[in-house]
Structure 1
């Protein structure tokens, strides 16, 4: 295989990345398209011919985005599925609705995320940031995995953050101790402003690498990424301190179009057909921002995987 060359920069947009790519016949399910880079991710893929299925809580906002996309491309294929990621029952219902349509699934883009949510626990008793950002999207992936394999070659794209490397977790701790930190119990006091969010984003990277090890041979590629610093609503519930963080980061922040570039690069670029299990930033995978000492720890990947699966088995057996 010829060596890849870097074609994009931190200022590249989703449109730059997708230029010349025709996604007709490809179907993408995307979580969290009502705000932030999810909007541009859905829009840009749809405008390049992909069938977009937006999985969101706010249906009215989803319908508005669908209308805006159709105004730009009248033959765009855009569908909407209701999902509430703080409810595993809703996640299961959303997956069942998708599967009932008979659609293929070539791209599963796990974009949704919360930080410092006002509601401190999910419907299923999980700490909200951990439950929404990791468990719910792990569950959605598991429910759709067979469809991804049937549709192969297919891709799972997981939006993480460079904050995965800022958890403050001591690498000398045992796997069990690290796992306990990464999976906070509802009601646990957050040690820092964005600690739970950082933990959940390390969970995203661990999940991605663990998933890659399990499914890559079946034709499903897995990518995890940092989209860059983007002015979104993720810090809206963190008070004045969150506003300060956003203000300080503004000079270095990306537009939504730039922020979505790495996501669509992972989802659609033909040069990544034989690449999987890598961490991307600025549409490239040199992994300079990856905290490999934690993220590449297969024992920790497996511990998180087993812990999550055990909780989901309990949920399934409860009949909820």
Structure 2
């Protein structure tokens, strides 16, 4: 069947057998993350829910066990904006598990007020990119042991709001704008997929970035009514003649599940995916779909990797 914007996770996962596979999904206690984990579990995968709130994660795990009959669901606690928490999570997970076949970096924050981590990093860049950068690299040995494997990085059409500002990514010397901040973090998610694929493809591991579509989830918990009005005005302007529609959570999570499991994507990485298909290169402020060229630029992807290593004070050799 042809997949599109209204395709659901159950339609994507139909006929897919993930028995014997291990997956890890961040931000899986609610919303898109929980639905992604449920779909993977329904196909037989063992799934770790990596979450901030352990109690909420355990509740989600129990819901998934109940609806899928799959008892191979466990929970790991991680605070992505805290490097020591990410390191502890990865260390514990590696000690208790074998190979990792599917990693879905789903968690994120959106348009929050200016907040800084203990290190002084801007929160959206720290959570949406740096935390997942660190976690993925720390889990790389398990991914290589489980190859062929896939990494899915949740990006957004919001990447079109801003490129990565390599001079001042943390807004130390420029006025903070929550949408520019969100945009650069989502661009970083795409660039990370490009460089990950370059480094890991020789081992049979690919990474792709996903735009899930517009979904009303806890991601928007920081938005005021005026924020939502402004966002919708921007979306409608960008949509041109197209009509914007919110997706259901099963439809929103479908592209993540498609990225993780579709035979069509075997061996393909560094792509921007939306509505269960590969997005197209677009230009201009009125682009209603697709990606901007700066989000997949190989030189920027390599530069972001170097910036991320320097920020974290750690070098990763995936060879």
TM superposition score category, shorter chain reference:
0.7 to 0.9
Residue 247 (structure 1) shift: 6.5
Contact 1:120 1:128 in 2 (8 A): yes
* Structure 2 counterpart of 1:3: none
- Give the stretch that moved more between structures: 270-279 or 44-53: 270-279
2:176 to 180, 190, 193: 190
Aligned to 1:180: 167
* 1:42-81 equivalences in 2 (<5 Å): 42-81=37-76
The answer to whether the 8 Å contact 1:14/1:257 transfers is: yes
* Residue aligned with 1:234, SS: helix
Structure 2 residue runs without a partner (length 5+): 236-242, 282-288
Displacement after TM superposition at 1:217 (Å): 1.2
Equivalent-residue separation in structure 2 for 1:111 and 1:76 (angstroms): 22
SS at match of 1:180: coil
Note closer, same or farther for the CA distance 1:75–1:292 as it changes in structure 2 (3 Å cut): closer
Q: Does the residue aligned with 2:139 lie in a helix, a strand or coil?
A: helix
The alignment of Structure 1 onto Structure 2 pairs a total of residues equal to 301
- Residue 210 of structure 2 corresponds to 225
C-alpha deviation, 1:77, in angstroms: 1.0
Q: TM-score, normalised by structure 2?
A: 0.88
* Mapped partners of 1:256, 1:298: distance in 2: 32
Correspondence for 2:270: 277
Q: How far apart in 2 are the matches of 1:187 and 1:78?
A: 44
Unaligned runs of 5+ in 1: 1-5, 170-176
Distance 1:74 1:140, change over 3 A: same
For each residue in 1:249-295, what CA deviation from the matched residue of structure 2 results, as whole angstroms up to 9, or x when unmatched? 79611000000000000111223222222111111114244444212
Spell out, residue by residue over 1:30-86, the C-alpha distance to the aligned partner (whole angstroms, 9 max, x if none).
100123211210111111111010100111111111111121133331000000111
The answer to whether structure 1 residue 257 and structure 2 residue 250 are counterparts is yes
- The alpha-carbon distance between structure 1 residues 207 and 251, as it changes in their structure 2 partners (threshold 3 A), is closer
CA gap of 1:187–1:180, structure 2 versus 1, over 3 A, is closer
1:85 pairs, out of 80, 86, 111, with: 80
What is the RMSD of the two structures over their aligned residues, measured on CA atoms? 2.3
Match of 2:286 in 1: none
Task: State the Cα distance separating 1:228 from its structure 2 match.
Answer: 0.7
Residue matched to 2:313: 313
SS in 2 for 1:104: coil
Matching of residues 1-320 of structure 1 within 5 Å? 7-117=2-112, 120-167=115-162, 178-181=165-168, 183-185=169-171, 189-191=175-177, 193-245=178-230, 252-288=245-281, 289-313=289-313
Q: Report the Cα distance in structure 1 between the residues aligned to 2:165 and 2:112, rounded to whole angstroms.
A: 23
Q: TM-score, normalised by structure 1?
A: 0.87
Correspondence for 2:240: none
